[in-house]
Amino acid sequence: LLFVNAGMVQFVPYFLGQQTPPFRRAVSVQKCIRTPDIDEVGKTSRHGTFFQMNGNFSFGDYFKEGAIPFAWDLATKPLDRGGFGLDPERIWVTVYLDDDEAAEIWRRTGVPVERIVRRGKKDNFWSMGIPGPAGPCSELYYDRGPEYGREGGPAVDEDRYLEFWNLVFMQYDIADVRGKEEFRILGELPAKNIDTGMGLERMAAILQGVDNLYEIDEVRPILDRAAELTGRRYGARSSHVASESHPDDVRLRVVADHVRTSLMLIGDGVIPSNEGRGYVLRRIMRRAIRAIRLLGWQDRALPELLPVARDCMAPSYPELAEEFDRISSYAYAEEDAFLSTLRAGTTILDTAIAETRRAGRAAISGEKAFQLHDTYGFPIDLTLEIAAEQGLQVDEEGFRRLMADQRARAKADAQARKTGHLDLSAYR
């Protein structure tokens, strides 16, 4: 794993029985990074690249009969008694297809059968996406009401019915993982365990009565600052449904999410680079900078936004304030480098556009787009966009072919480093 992407990551050796935990029950608030859904950020109400996961864990201690009533109790107990005070009538739960036991415990705990939904592996069997501990899960959803989407439960609309808590019944060791639904169960784990994850940001959105993760108190100030800089009015469309948002709103959310993630990543020691974790950070930062440029802000943006993110997060993570000089110097240098890339690329692209026109062609060649990407680090989406503004297309197929060739060469190189034998066919 490049990043901790769930609250349970550091507990894997306990689940597998490789180490004895010093305690049999635990609770945590874990910083997490998840980027597979990065393109969804801002377009839905519930995808963030950085989030904090609250969880309770049992290492061979309580199992379903404990975890389910615990979750119900905390979710529904009034705020003044230490719970989240959610209306029990609005909570829906899901269980894995054949998990009669969990369904029965939910029924006994007080959830009517019509709000207990059975779902398959894709939704209700949790794994890390790699070999290791896994198990069927049961999720809690909160119905935010008709203004958020269609009636019918979480299987119909996961924006209206917001998942806020996942209870995983960790009981299997899996291998040969090829996707959410394709893996092999090696056998039972030495003990039956519990791993739960409640997205802090999702719960905050519910409790603060806001539409999405980007409007909670830890994120909204960054969004507001970006709106102020660019002179855009956030939320001009009145719909609560994220998918109906104005493109400006989506971009402002991307900026807010990604700036906060960059702060947290650099804070934890990641440095922008061309590989591994550093590359993920670089992409996130570039996406933020691109988004704010598309909103009309051409100058350095991070010196305006990063301190706002720090002020949002430092109450929980004081080290962000103490180390802000180090964090911000990496961030600002990265932005400056990217802005020069954009300037250099724009000049080359302008020339390419002029040449394409002179030659009477409708599309910029795939080679040119590839060269911009490969030599100047100029992102293809930007090439496409600038070309479109000039009424031109880009030979995307040609571009993708060259990208694929390059990947094949990189793979051959990596293989050669391992085996000492270079497959020259990748170079033809």
Residue ranges that bind ligand SER, judged by CB under 6 A: 6-8, 55, 126, 166, 168, 195-197
- CB 137, min distance to ligand SER, A: 7
Q: Which residue is nearest to ligand SER (CB)?
A: 197
Q: What does the alpha-carbon distance between residue 3 and residue 31 come to, in Å, rounded to a whole number?
A: 10
- CB 126, min distance to ligand SER, A: 5
Instruction: Answer yes or no: are the C-beta atoms of 301 and 229 closer than 8 Å.
Output: yes
Q: What does the alpha-carbon distance between residue 82 and residue 63 come to, in Å, rounded to a whole number?
A: 23
Q: What does the alpha-carbon distance between residue 125 and residue 121 come to, in Å, rounded to a whole number?
A: 5
Q: What does the alpha-carbon distance between residue 420 and residue 396 come to, in Å, rounded to a whole number?
A: 35
Give CA separation, 385 vs 104, 349, 370, in Å: 54, 11, 15
Instruction: Give 124 or 212: the residue with its C-beta nearer to ligand SER.
Output: 124
- CB 286, min distance to ligand SER, A: 27
- CB 11, min distance to ligand SER, A: 10
- CB 424, min distance to ligand SER, A: 44
Q: What does the alpha-carbon distance between residue 200 and residue 313 come to, in Å, rounded to a whole number?
A: 13
Specify the long-range contacts of residues 327-332, CB closer than 8 Å, at least 24 apart.
Answer: 327/263, 327/266, 327/267, 328/302, 328/303, 330/266, 330/271, 330/272, 331/262, 331/263, 331/266, 331/285, 331/302, 331/306, 332/300, 332/302, 332/303, 332/306
Instruction: Give 9 or 339: the residue with its C-beta nearer to ligand SER.
Output: 9
- CB 59, min distance to ligand SER, A: 14
Instruction: Give 52 or 212: the residue with its C-beta nearer to ligand SER.
Output: 52
Instruction: Give 196 or 230: the residue with its C-beta nearer to ligand SER.
Output: 196
Instruction: Give 7 or 267: the residue with its C-beta nearer to ligand SER.
Output: 7
Instruction: Give 8 or 309: the residue with its C-beta nearer to ligand SER.
Output: 8
